[in-house]
């Protein structure tokens, strides 16, 4: 009898230990992203829209700037040869056939040949400003997204924390710790996504600025070479 009682007691103890073993809770990334309620989902949607536009703007500008930086290494040599031999029309045609900011600057200068050098320089500078504006088109949007992304994510976190504490207050102190912690880490997810969007946009913006500066230096160098050619055509 006592042996059976001991066996029963051991079984009950083992069952209690089994119940006391915590079950590991797993949460997929998708569940984490959509578990913030309507407000959290709206914030997440806006962040992903920002990320999409940031990537689109980055690659669109990158390809445009890369195309603008391509120019024949013999371009200025051919321009110099045509101008020295008085073949102004041939030089203009060469510029028209070369689709690049440098060629458009030189074409603007060639069209002013015969006028004072100061007028030619001013025309080239104005054309250069227009080309720089084309290169920097929509790049500022990346800078805006790099700042707006983290702030939007932080807004979602603040909203989530307010809702979590409101739930705590409404429960009269009877809220479960698990439910509260779930709401908090769900709210923090918006900050993480916002920071990712901001970092991607910030890196993309600075990379495009560096690429644009290289094209600008290329234009300045060729413009100076063209003006030197007019000063000393021989």
The Cα 70–Cα 32 span in angstroms is 46
Per-residue model confidence (pLDDT) at position 196? 93
Closest CA to 191 of 153, 148, 145, 146: 153
pLDDT, one tens digit per residue, over 183-207 is 676 677 888 889 999 999 999 999 9
Which pLDDT value is given to residue 39? 60
pTM over 0.85: no
Lowest mean pLDDT among 39-48, 50-59, 166-175, 217-226: 166-175
- Asked whether the beta carbons of 212 and 65 are under 8 A apart, the reply is yes
Q: What is the CA radius of gyration of the chain?
A: 33
Q: Which of 210, 221, 202 is nearest to 50 (CA)?
A: 202
Whether 184 and 160 have beta carbons less than 8 Å apart is answered as yes
Chain mean pLDDT for the chain = 78
pLDDT of 118 over the 70 cut: yes
Distance CA 147, CA 159 (A): 19
């Amino acid at each position: 009898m006592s042996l059976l009682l001991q066996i029963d007691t051991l079984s009950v103890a083992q069952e209690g230990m089994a119940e006391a073993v915590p079950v590991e809770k797993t949460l997929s990334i998708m569940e984490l992203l959509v578990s913030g309620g309507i407000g959290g989902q709206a914030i997440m949607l806006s962040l992903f829209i920002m990320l999409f536009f940031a990537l689109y703007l980055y690659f669109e500008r990158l390809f445009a700037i890369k195309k603008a930086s391509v120019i024949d290494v013999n371009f200025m040599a051919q321009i110099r040869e045509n101008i020295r031999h008085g073949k102004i029309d041939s030089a203009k045609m060469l510029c028209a056939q070369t689709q690049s900011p440098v060629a458009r600057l030189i074409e603007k200068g060639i069209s002013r040949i015969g006028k004072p050098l100061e007028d030619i320089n001013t025309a080239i500078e104005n054309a250069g400003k227009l080309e720089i504006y084309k290169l920097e088109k929509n790049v500022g949007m990346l800078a805006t997204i790099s700042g707006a992304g983290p702030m939007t994510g932080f807004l979602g976190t603040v909203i989530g924390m307010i809702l979590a504490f409101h739930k705590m207050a409404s429960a009269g102190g009877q809220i479960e710790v698990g439910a509260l912690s779930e709401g908090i880490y769900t709210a923090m997810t918006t900050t993480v996504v916002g920071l990712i969007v901001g970092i991607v946009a910030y890196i993309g913006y600075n990379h495009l600025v560096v690429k644009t500066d290289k094209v600008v230096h290329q234009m300045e160098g060729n413009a100076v070479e063209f003006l030197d050619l007019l000063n000393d055509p021989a």
